[in-house]
Chains A and B, each alone.
Chain A
Amino acid sequence: MRGDKQIVVLDPKKYKYNWKVERPERVERSKYFGNLKTVVIDSGICSHCGTCAICPVKGIIVEDKPVDFPNWKRLCIDCGACIRVCPRYTYTPISGIGDYIEVFAGKSKRFVGQDGAMVSEFMASALEMGVIDVALFVSRDDEFRPYVVHVKYKEQLKDTRITGTKYSFAPVMPELYEIARYVDGIGIIGTPCMVSGVRKLQKEIPFYEKIKFTIGLFCTENFYYWQLKEFLAEKGGDLTKATKTDIKKGEFIIDYADGSSFRISVKELEEIVPSGCKVCQDFSAIEADVSIGSVGSKDGFSSVIIRSKIGKEVYDYMNEKGYIETDEVKMSVIQRLCEYKVKIHPYPRY
């Protein structure tokens, strides 16, 4: 390098006294958040995964509305971290089933969840094995609004608010940044876009290798909570009184406490699907350690795709302890949905 201070390397593995950071290239002459805004947010391809909440000045707000940084022209410190970790800044969609080690349908004997509660079972086993110290789960409040909880003990997963699917964006990544410095092994559950965010983050900033276990959920689309609530209310459903929500056979179903339920065709929900979801082609969370969803297995079972060594280790542990029941999975159904997602979500759009 140049200048009076050379890049001095004491021990390349341990410490350097000068170090370099490559910030990303700009597409326009504004601060980095301005670039992110132009390329990802304003162009409508933001998946709302929340990875950009890495923002060291905590300016980027990932809440129940499009990602924003109020007053960024003044407050953005121009570090470029948001762009470095954004999985959509340079976006090439991924699709298909992806590589895997093993596929099966499973049902947990210990927990009750959306389908076979395999998500909860995997995380509980990973906690038991000591692979992770804490798992970030998405729970819900009395009005079915999602919020993030830290699960450290498997007993916490007996709470059926923590298990089960919430069809709304949840601020998992912002919470991750809050805790990352204080724990060693973190487990993350998320939609495919969040999994892609985690992988991009880990590639750019190895500190986040702490996220030892990532479960991806099969996903066609997600919603903003307020929008879903208002839309369903218009159609006569009440999300705030729901005890469970589900999408089955093309229908969005709300179960109420009194046993009745409200159904609406998913096609009708089309108009509130966020634009970022409409360019996503990853149905099966290709980059996750383990992908889990409901299609492809019979009622009460979850389809599980194991993709990595760590996923396999946790699976073997569960089998050894006899925590799960397994069944056949229909790969063709998953395959069909993967293809379907590519078809309905073309990218580039025009």
Chain B
Amino acid sequence: MAKSVKSPKMNLIRSVFGHLNAIIEVTKEVVMPSTITIHYPRERRKLPDNFRGLILFDKNACINCFRCSHICPANAIQMYIRENKYYPGIDYTKCILCHFCVDSCPTSALKPSKIHDVVFKSLDNMVVKPEDMINEPKVLREDYITVEYDFDEDLIMRRSKVKEKLVVEIDKPVRPDFVAGAANPENCIACRFCVNSCPQNAISFKLEDQQTMVFSIDIDKCTGCLICIRKCPTETLKAFRRDKIELEGNYERR
């Protein structure tokens, strides 16, 4: 059913008030605009501490466990040999900044940062080597105001005259400290995959005589990367909690 709409009757009072209202609104916007634009680069938005930006690397904390490169869904992490050990490097042409690597790192050797405005000079430069991930890159900063959005009710923007730190130390997640132990030595087939795969050279073997091989795990050297466990074809090795071992420990230290 069609419905006819009549145009409103002209009314002098109504139109005067209408115009006045419009003028007030416009003046308000001129004096104090209600946009939510951040004037980057003079202003920066405040980001959470674990923001998924450029990834930094602490070489001393790294235990060469390959977990980051295994978990990377974009296959962006390659392990590079440095001083006979493997360290991760990130290919930013592939990286999707999901930070699975950061989350999977058992020792927090990979660290998040709030640096998101990065320019690479060439595609080759986007393949970042481990040594280039250690230091915070130089960021030319023109900002002097940090803007924080407050979403609680209506959107409010809080501007403060502070320069935000782009790399923040965040607490390391609590993770159990594992060591590898030979849970089922009777399964060992003497393949030495564990010996060869250990990045810390914590597993070694000696020939006692022609037939007998004696293997040993140096628990102090073991960082709990558990590569040996992944490599062992017969489940000889298992992960134990380091603290549990101390508790039960009636073993002699060297």
Give the residue of A5, A21, A26 whose beta carbon is less than 8 angstroms from that of B213.
A21
Q: Which residues in window 1-25 of A have CB below 8 A to B?
A: 1-6, 8-11, 14-25
Q: Which residues in B have their C-beta under 8 angstroms from that of A80? A: 189-190
> How far, in whole Å, are A24 and B77 apart by their CA atoms in the complex?
42
B189 touches A205 (CB 8 A): yes
Are A22's CB and B187's CB within 8 A? no
The answer to whether A105 has its CB under 8 Å from any CB of chain B is no
The reply to whether B250 and A10 form a contact with Cβ atoms under 8 Å apart is yes
Interface assignment of B120: CB less than 8 Å from any CB of chain A? no
**Which residue of the partner chain, among A6, A15, A56, A205, contacts B181 with CB atoms under 8 Å?**
A15
Contact indicator B182/A23 (Cβ below 8 Å): no
Q: Type the 1/0 row for A58-92, where 1 means its CB is closer than 8 Å to any CB of B.
A: 00000000000000000001011100100000000
Chain A residues in 8 Å Cβ range of B206: 3
Question: Would you call the interface of chain B mostly helix, strand, loop, or mixed?
Answer: loop
Contact flag A77-B245 (CB < 8 Å), given A15-B181, A18-B215, A206-B187? no
Q: Tell me if A19 and B251 are in contact (CB < 8 A).
A: no
Q: What residues of chain A lie closer than 8 Å to B215, measured between beta carbons?
A: 18-21
Q: Is B29 located at the chain interface by the 8 A CB criterion?
A: no
Q: In the bound complex, do residue A22 and residue B212 qualify as a contact, i.e. CB atoms below 8 Å apart?
A: yes
Bound complex: CA A24 to CA B212 (Å): 9
Q: Which residues of A contact B216 (CB under 8 A)?
A: 5, 17-19
Residue pair A206, B184 in contact (C-beta under 8 Å): yes
Task: Determine whether the beta carbon of B254 is less than 8 Å from that of A20.
Answer: no
Contact B183 A56 (CB under 8 A): no
On whether the beta carbons of B192 and A77 are closer than 8 Å, the reply is yes
Q: Mark B153-189, 1 if CB is under 8 A from A, else 0.
A: 0000000000000000000000000000111111111
Which residue of B183, B189, B217 contacts A21 across the interface (Cβ within 8 Å)? Answer: B189
Complex interface: stretch among B1-9, B15-23, B136-144, B233-241: B233-241
Q: Bound complex: CA of A95 vs CA of B7, how far in Å?
A: 109
A residues adjacent to B (C-beta < 8 A): 1-6, 8-11, 14-26, 54, 56-57, 77, 79-81, 84, 177, 181, 205-207
